[in-house]
């Protein structure tokens, strides 16, 4: 009986030792460096078996040295193993900017009760009240006869001489109402709460005047551009202030022959619809332009040389319509003063209206300036 107990004890100890070895091997298989643990465990149990076994080299998964490209990330096959940590040298990803709620300049924002805009290309006039030129026309809004105005513009020469490629200024561009501005989007709606005024010279009349000055200077017509905001902060007496500015330039530069006061119009229908004078030039929407030549009324408006200014206006009108058909509206000859007594080359020109876009107006100013440069003998392609 004692012998039987001893045999059972040996069998139980053997089973326990075998089970512990199995558990040890299973746990070691899940630890790093498991190959050497397995070898050690087997060596303890059976040195001969350990020597006879063949051990394969451990598998090493290559680690990426930089982030894959976006295209590779789309086409790569997902791996079941955990994502390896990035090396210190790997570049950090730059997050994409979040979408912005601010509308693009080319799109109208959300406007409560928006006003409507319509585009119209104004044609030339004919018949009574109009003087037809070689190209373009003059609208006679005075008590002078059409024949009187016609005789004033038939002289082919300009009432002044401009020196091309001169070191001295020949042309002055300024803006009595410099803060007049335009739409910033092409959509045919406007914001009734917007006053169409801005002190930003990239959006107001200074942007148009600057483009005109660039064209003239490139053509060899020495041109100055004054960006004084004569209508800010006060709109009243703005013509008095621009008069003083012009006088100061003429005293400093007596070589100046042409003074252009560049504005924009404001045209509305009776129902409040804003009208933008528009033509197409080289496939692009372009603001139409209109010259205003003042006329002496014999009392409150004193312009003794108004016929000379009108001659200049007619020549520029003809040059613009000849070079760029459809660009102009008829010249307005009316009882207006506009400081046009300072030189015989003083004119006011309206570039588009408050319903045109800034881009349309700048293009209109460019084509008007190109025609003027040609008229004055400049070099324009």
Confidence at 229, pLDDT banded by 50, 70, 90: very high
SS3 246: helix
The size of the chain, in residues, is 381
3-state helix, strand, coil in the chain (%, to 5): 35, 20, 50
SS3 240: helix
Q: What is the pLDDT of residue 106?
A: 59
Is it the case that residue 92 has pLDDT exceeding 80?
no
Main-chain phi, psi angles of 277, to 5 degrees: -70, 120
Question: Which tens digits make up the pLDDT trace of 290-317?
Answer: 999 999 999 999 999 999 999 999 999 9
Do 157 and 375 contact (CB within 8 A), yes or no? no
Question: Which tens digits make up the pLDDT trace of 313-338?
Answer: 999 999 999 999 999 999 999 999 99
Question: Which tens digits make up the pLDDT trace of 4-62?
Answer: 455 444 444 444 344 444 443 333 344 344 333 334 433 333 443 343 333 333 333 33
Query: How deeply is 154 buried, as exposed, middle or buried, from its count of CB atoms within 10 A (0-12, 13-18, 19+)?
Result: exposed
Beta strand ranges found along the chain (DSSP E) = 115-120, 130-132, 137-140, 171-174, 189-190, 223-225, 258-265, 267-268, 274-281, 284-287, 289-294, 331-334, 346-353
How far apart (Å, rounded) are the C-alpha atoms in residues 234 and 267? 23
Helix (H) or strand (E) holding 206: helix 205-218
SS3 137: strand
Is it the case that residue 77 has pLDDT exceeding 70?
no
Main-chain phi, psi angles of 146, to 5 degrees: -60, -35
Q: Which residue, 360, 203, 188, is CA-closest to 282?
A: 360
Give me the torsion for CA of 168, 253, 317, 340, rounded to 10°.
-170
Residues 128-155, mean pLDDT to the nearest whole number: 97
Question: Which tens digits make up the pLDDT trace of 243-276?
Answer: 999 999 999 999 999 999 999 999 999 999 999 9
| ∠ CA 192-114-201, rounded to 5° | 50
Query: Residue 294: how many CB atoms within 10 A of its CB?
Result: 25
Give the pairing of strands 331-334 and 137-140: parallel
Q: Which residue, 173, 121, 137, is CA-closest to 327?
A: 121
Better-predicted residue by pLDDT, 63 or 309: 309
């Amino acid at each position: 009986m004692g012998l039987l107990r001893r045999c059972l004890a040996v069998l139980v100890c053997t089973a326990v030792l075998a089970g512990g070895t199995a558990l040890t091997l299973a746990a070691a298989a899940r630890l790093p460096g498991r190959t050497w643990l397995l070898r050690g465990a087997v060596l303890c149990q059976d040195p001969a078996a350990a020597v006879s076994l063949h051990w394969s080299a451990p598998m090493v998964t290559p680690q990426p040295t930089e982030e894959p490209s976006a295209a590779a990330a789309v086409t790569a096959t997902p791996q079941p193993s955990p994502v390896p940590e990035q090396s210190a040298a790997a570049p950090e990803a730059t997050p994409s900017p979040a979408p912005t709620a601010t509308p693009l300049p080319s799109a109208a924002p959300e406007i409560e009760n928006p006003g409507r805009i319509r585009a119209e290309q104004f044609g030339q006039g004919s018949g009574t009240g109009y003087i037809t030129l070689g190209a373009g026309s003059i609208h006679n809004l005075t008590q002078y006869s059409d024949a009187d105005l016609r005789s004033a513009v038939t002289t082919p020469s300009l009432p002044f001489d401009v020196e091309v490629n001169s070191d001295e200024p020949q042309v002055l561009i300024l803006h009595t109402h410099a803060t007049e501005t335009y739409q910033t989007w092409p959509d045919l709606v406007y914001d009734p709460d917007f006053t169409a005024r801005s002190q930003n010279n990239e959006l107001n009349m200074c942007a148009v005047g600057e483009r005109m000055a660039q064209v003239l200077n490139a053509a060899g017509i020495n041109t100055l551009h004054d960006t004084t905001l004569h209508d800010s902060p006060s709109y009243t007496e703005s013509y008095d202030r621009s008069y003083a500015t012009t006088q100061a330039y003429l005293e400093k530069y007596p070589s100046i022959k042409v003074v252009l006061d560049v504005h924009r119009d404001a045209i509305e229908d009776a129902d409040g619809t804003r009208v933008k004078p528009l033509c197409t030039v080289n496939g692009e929407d372009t603001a139409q332009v209109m010259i205003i030549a003042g006329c002496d009324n014999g009392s409150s408006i004193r312009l003794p040389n108004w016929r000379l200014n009108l001659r200049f206006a007619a020549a520029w009108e003809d040059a613009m319509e000849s070079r760029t058909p459809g660009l102009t509206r008829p010249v307005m000859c009316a009882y207006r003063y506009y400081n046009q007594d300072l030189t015989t080359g003083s004119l006011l020109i309206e570039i588009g209206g408050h319903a045109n876009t800034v881009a349309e107006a700048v293009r209109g100013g460019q084509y008007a300036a190109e025609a003027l440069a040609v008229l004055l003998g400049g070099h324009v392609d």
